Amino acid sequence: FMESTILEMEVDAEGKFLSQPLRCLGKIVRRENTSADTDEKNVAFGVRIVQMNEDDMERWEECMSLIASQSTLNDEATVRKFLSA
């Protein structure tokens, strides 16, 4: 995928944190080769959520609050910044 590509996504598709996946649209904002070997194709993507329905947004906020409460980080804003880095 190239930067600025818009994707239909599922957040937590395996159900590790949520009872059901969250469906949303995401925009690729960063693409990095994570391998020191230039022949290997390990790529990491940074994605910004650009659209989510209201019910999924409520569950997303609950998940962020849960992560923040179980985290050693100080506040939810710090957790959000950490997750978006």
User: Looking at residues 14-29, what average pLDDT do you find?
Assistant: 87
Burial category of 22 from C-beta neighbours within 10 Å (exposed 0-12, middle 13-18, buried 19 and up): buried
Q: pTM (2 decimals)?
A: 0.61
End-to-end alpha carbon distance in the chain:
19
Q: Do 3 and 29 contact (CB within 8 A), yes or no?
A: yes
pLDDT digit string (tens) for 38-48? 666 788 888 99
| Residue percentage of the chain with pLDDT more than 90 | 22
pLDDT tens digit string along 22-31? Answer: 899 999 998 8
